[in-house]
Structure 1
Amino acid sequence: MPLEGVDPKDGDLIEFMRDLFQHWGIYVGGGRVVHLTGQEGFSCFSSAFASTAIVKMEPLETVAAGCIYKVNNKYDDKRRPLPQTKVVRAALEQVGKRKQYSVTSANCEHFVTELRYGESFSHQVDIAKTYFALGGLSFVLALGVMAAFSSLRNKQKQ
């Protein structure tokens, strides 16, 4: 189920909204998407605990699997996309290949950004790392405050 105004062009990044994350594919024309996925084909998340995934070309609606999706070339304002024909050709050349997979360094978003921009990166991984770091920092600060209060209370009892 696409969002309003979804009219993908060859080489566009397609973002599929899953429950806990986003899945990414690259539109190659004819209603088809090339994406990095697990054996089950639902998303790269099915490969989260495996070290490899496979590149598939499937109909856009099959990859969406009832989820909302949209064209999201969100990096175009910061990076110059490669020519559409080069992006599509490179994507099609990957179909059927088994690739190394890592949630943090070689996931489906890394795969499509490499194809579109010639550079692999994942904003959702960067966000997760930031939240993880902030969560860890908050935990350490909370421990420090509790230790300070405990120390103060022990001094007051003496």
Structure 2
Amino acid sequence: MKHAILCAALLSALPALADDHAAAPAGLLAGSNKTDLPEVILSVGEPLGGPWTLNSGQYYEVEITADGSGEIGLEGAGFFRAIWVDEVVIEGLEVRPYGLHSIEFDRAGTMEIGFVAVKPGRYSLALPGASGPDQRLEIVIE
């Protein structure tokens, strides 16, 4: 009888022993789910870069750097509404906004945006007031 009770107690403890606290984090915001996008360089008169194809549900990070050649920004309300912004990092300061409409640099610097692509569709980020195709970054979320 004592042997049966001991066996039952050991068997009931097995799930607790199987929990591996050293395992890597899982889920949407885990590092293994992160994809780094090519850096976007903002410079007066220079192209923004090639198109992006993103997967809905995937976490992405992009660095946006302004070279200081002028006050310059990016607008893309449609794109910013189609993503969930996790954080914006500016010179080590982390901001966790509810959402974005546009970004602007008054001088040279770098900002990193971490986000999850959510709503499939075609979007763009563009320099405000610019009409040339090189002044626009085409984005597809699949």
Q: Same fold (TM over 0.5)?
A: no
Higher normalized helix content (fraction of residues): 1
Higher normalized strand content (fraction of residues): 2
Which structure is larger by alpha-carbon Rg, 1 or 2?
2
TM-score (norm 2): 0.24
RCO higher in structure (CA 8 A, sep ≥6): 2
TM-score (norm 1): 0.22
